[in-house]
């Protein structure tokens, strides 16, 4: 039997999640700003994916292993220590954009930053749009 993905779209209210999950006013304000920006850039309303990811749009993926599922085109999670930004694709354009993004750490395909004021919002916009284009071109 196929394993169900933990990160699937839920019916939980994004506003309720932000209001109840965070006790840091700056992180709440940054979260609402990211929602505004990512909605504008993607053309999609925010949806909860799993318990803590706020995603915009969706695409279908399928790995060579046969594992497949749906995921948001772009998104973020306002974790306690820092934001996890799911906005990166492994392209030369995206790698170049990172040079001017600002203060962040990089995971495998995730960007971590403490607050929005640490990063360049116009570069974040370019990263988001490049990732959306990349996923539209390659999605199953």
Helix (H) and strand (E) counts in the chain:
4, 8
Q: Evaluate whether 74 touches 55 at the Cβ level (below 8 Å).
A: yes
Kindly give the confidence (pLDDT) of every residue in the chain, 140 residues in length, as a single tens digit, with 9 standing for 90 and above. 445 566 789 999 999 999 998 888 999 999 999 999 999 999 999 999 999 999 999 998 887 888 888 999 999 999 988 999 999 888 899 999 999 999 999 988 899 999 999 999 999 999 999 999 999 887 64
- The model's pLDDT over 49-73, given as tens digits with 9 standing for 90+, comes to 999 999 999 998 887 888 888 999 9
Q: Evaluate whether 111 touches 130 at the Cβ level (below 8 Å).
A: no
How many C-beta atoms surround the C-beta of residue 127 within 10 A? 25
Q: Cα–Cα distance between 30 and 25 in angstroms, integer?
A: 9
Question: What's the distance, Cα to Cα, between the start and end of the chain in Å?
Answer: 21
Query: What is the pLDDT, as a whole number, of residue 1?
Result: 40
| Dihedral in degrees, nearest 10, Cα atoms 97, 101, 107, 110 | -80
Query: What is the pLDDT, as a whole number, of residue 80?
Result: 86
What are the chain's domains? 14-138 (3.90.1150)
């Amino acid at each position: 039997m196929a394993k169900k993905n933990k990160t699937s779209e839920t019916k939980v209210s994004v506003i309720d999640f932000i209001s109840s999950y965070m006790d840091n006013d700056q992180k709440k304000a940054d979260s609402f700003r990211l929602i505004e920006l990512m909605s504008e850039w993607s053309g999609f309303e925010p949806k909860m994916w799993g318990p803590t990811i706020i995603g915009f749009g969706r695409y279908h993926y399928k790995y060579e292993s046969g594992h497949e599922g749906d995921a948001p085109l772009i998104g973020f999670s306002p974790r306690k220590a820092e934001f996890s930004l799911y906005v990166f694709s492994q392209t030369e354009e995206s790698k170049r954009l990172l040079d001017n993004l600002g203060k962040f750490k990089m995971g495998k395909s995730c960007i971590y930053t403490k607050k929005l004021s640490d990063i360049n919002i116009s570069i974040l916009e370019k990263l988001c749009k490049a990732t959306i284009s990349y996923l539209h071109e390659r999605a199953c």
